[in-house]
Amino acid sequence: MTLRALADKIGVSAPFLSDVEHGRRQTNQYDALADALEVSVDDLRKLDGRVTELKDWLAENPQLVALLKDIRDSGKPVPIEALRASLKKSR
């Protein structure tokens, strides 16, 4: 099915659907998309590449955004496994 055919089937524009596909826009039309694609909503959500939970968490904790920017701007490699191990020890 083409993007245009899918868009027509669920009643949205092809550019809108393209934006959804590429994570530039969000939609609440998962049911219509799932029906049109003949998949379950759960399966469709598994393919959603966005990180909405993480975005929500960062919005609730803006100090983390500053920390992540500091890490990025440092130019140093991030020891992910060491950080993960440290977090596990502190539980």
Two tokens, residue 52: 């909405």
Predicted pLDDT of residue 51: 63
For the chain, report the end-to-end CA distance as a whole number of angstroms.
Answer: 48
Q: Please provide the DSSP assignment of the chain as one string.
A: --HHHHHHHHTS-HHHHHHHHTTSS--S-HHHHHHHHTS-HHHHHHT----HHHHHHHHH-HHHHHHHHHHHHH-PPP-HHHHHHHHHHT-
| pLDDT tens for each residue of the chain, 91 residues long | 899 999 999 999 999 999 888 878 888 888 999 999 999 988 887 777 666 677 788 889 999 989 989 988 999 888 888 888 888 887 7
